[in-house]
Structure 1
Amino acid sequence: MTKRTSLKLTDERQRKLDRASAIVAEDEYDDPPMSVVIDAALTHLIESEQNIDDARDEYDPETIQAIANTSVIGLRYRTSLESRYR
């Protein structure tokens, strides 16, 4: 990952940040800073990977794939987790 000094907010990215902000907010009047929203999203991604790895001992690969596949985490039967971005 390269470090950048600025983050371009496209319309789509702003919509995603707004949705994520609503999830992170404590109530309808809370407006969390973008850094908190980004930290929560990154933490969720990291914890999701760990949860998937842990579930492999208990559930069959097809079940895990059916439940955990997203546009970000793509699962292949027991072989790997891979990001679909980039």
Structure 2
Amino acid sequence: MTKRTSLKLTDERQRKLDRASAIVAEDEYDDPPMSVVIDAALTHLVESEQNIDDARGEFDPETIQEIANTSVIGLRYRTAVENKWR
């Protein structure tokens, strides 16, 4: 990962941030800072990977794949978590 000094907010990225902000907000009047929303999203991604790994001994691979596949986390049957983002 390269470090960048700015974050370009495209319309799509702003919509995602707004939606994520609503999820992170304590109530309808809370407006969390972008850093809190980004930290929550990153934490969720890391914890999701751990939850998937933990579930492997408890659930069959097809169930895990069916539930956990997203546009960011992709699972190949009986292998590893792979990043589908790029």
Q: Deviations over 1:19-78 (max 9, x none)?
A: 000000000000000000000000000000000000000011000000100010000012
Q: What RMSD over aligned residues (CA atoms) do the two structures have, in Å?
A: 0.5
TM-score, normalised to structure 2's length? 0.98
Instruction: Give the total of aligned pairs.
Output: 86
Using the alignment, how far apart are the partners of 2:63 and 2:12 within structure 1?
31
Q: Secondary structure at the match of 2:75?
A: strand
TM-score, normalised to structure 1's length? 0.98
Amino acid at match of 2:69: N
Amino acid at match of 1:67: I
Q: Secondary structure at the match of 2:26?
A: coil
Structure 1: unaligned runs, 5 residues or longer: none
Moved over 4 A (4+): none
Q: Secondary structure at the match of 2:82?
A: strand
Structure 2: unaligned runs, 5 residues or longer: none
Using the alignment, how far apart are the partners of 1:68 and 1:30 within structure 2?
29
Would you say 1:30 and 2:33 are equivalent positions? no
Using the alignment, how far apart are the partners of 1:31 and 1:9 within structure 2?
18
